[in-house]
Structure 1
């Protein structure tokens, strides 16, 4: 899955906290239906030995076995969905735990956008320090290392959120779900909760999360995050951990 590159509201500056392990960045949202990068065939043996590989699904959100999933081409690469293409499972949607805590999966913007990225499958504890979600926390697992573009800079986190914008790979969701649905603006997605009603029914809950739990679009908000142990609630879905 390639990075979903979204328009932000301000430039992003990342700093590694001196000896604290804290990274300052910005949050964005996206959902392009593509196979996660951390589930690709590159360096497959190392992935399986050290951390496993992220799970993927067929076009009907049926889980593929590991071997099939690793070898399958992404549905975003122009491969007909009927010929073994792999897509992002709908189980990768955000999971609200409490009013101030959520679990989620994310793209982490990185210099290395391949499956051998050492941050594949790692988890982070995220704290919003600006925006409507200020002082709220998320525990996220990285399933795709993505590339920087425009306002999106290295270390920014793109939360996997249906209706959050399909980014540059605009054909993936059409390949998986057909032409009957609206996905919002390519970069940034929907601007309000009501627009979520236009998504496939199985993705609407993750879209509502953005406005119900996050209280807004969540793009360009300042965050800080640090490494944390992956909870089973996430690894049971992704099938991998670092």
Structure 2
């Protein structure tokens, strides 16, 4: 799809009626683990299931992905697919995937607008593929954008098992765009997104967001919809 058509599509998404908008903060993360939404228990009311990949980023058959133990565990065979990296489609718009505070929101999509930070005024449409237990700095209303080099959080075994190492601090990942060159080549573009498109760390920047219909651009990658 051409960039013009993508921008028009997001304009249409913005007009979808919603019950309310939410304010929170954006964070980044990439732990290489099987997405939390790819467990059968988290797929109530969801069509399909998020794709899970093997250690070489080959998508597993849906039934195998649901059963695969997470790559964060010893001998685990289910990993986060490298196709879940954030992608800019214009200077003001990106698409990607996110971690949310409640697994009941698995596979739902949200349109967010940054209200502070270097990306202030820019928008992103994300689909929820992961969930986290709110705590420490990240609260229930916050969104963690899946970003290679964005920090492994409490699951630092996943990327070590898949790629042999983690990158940067567990709570924020790499500190500069130049450090993105230390990531595997298939993840570097998603890491550079953070500094080249968003313009900085992304962590703790203010956002307003609302639920929207999921665009095919995201569901065709994830394999799920809610």
Give the TM-score of the pair, scaled to structure 1: 0.83
Q: CA deviation at 1:21?
A: 1.0
* Offset, 1:118: 2.7
Look up the SS of the partner of 2:99 in the other structure: strand
Say if 2:78 is the partner of 1:96: no
SS at match of 1:233: helix
d(CA) in 2 for partners of 1:62, 1:121: 21
* Counterpart in the other structure of 1:149: 135
Q: String of CA shifts for 1:7-58, please: whole Å, max 9, x gaps.
A: xxxxxxxxxxxx85100000000000000011113266x46xx421100100
Which of 61, 65, 72 lines up with 1:65 in the alignment? 61
Compute the TM-score of the two structures, normalised by the length of structure 2: 0.89
Number of residues of Structure 1 aligned to a counterpart in Structure 2: 209
In structure 2, runs of 5+ residues without a counterpart are 1-17
Indicate the structure with greater helix content: 2
Say whether 1:31 aligns with 2:30.
Answer: yes
In the alignment, does 2:36 pair up with 1:40? Answer: no
Q: Distance in 2 between matches of 1:89 and 1:43?
A: 18
Alignment pair present for 1:108 and 2:108: no
1:74 paired residue among 70, 74, 78: 70
Match of 2:78 in 1: 86
CA distance in 1, matches of 2:115, 2:41: 36
How far residue 136 of structure 1 moved from its aligned partner, in angstroms, is 0.2
Instruction: Tell me the equivalent position of 2:5.
Output: none
Secondary structure at 1:56 match in 2: coil
* Shift >3 Å, 4+ stretches: none
Q: Does 1:129 align with 2:115?
A: yes
Q: Is the 8 A contact 2:42 2:104 kept in 1?
A: no
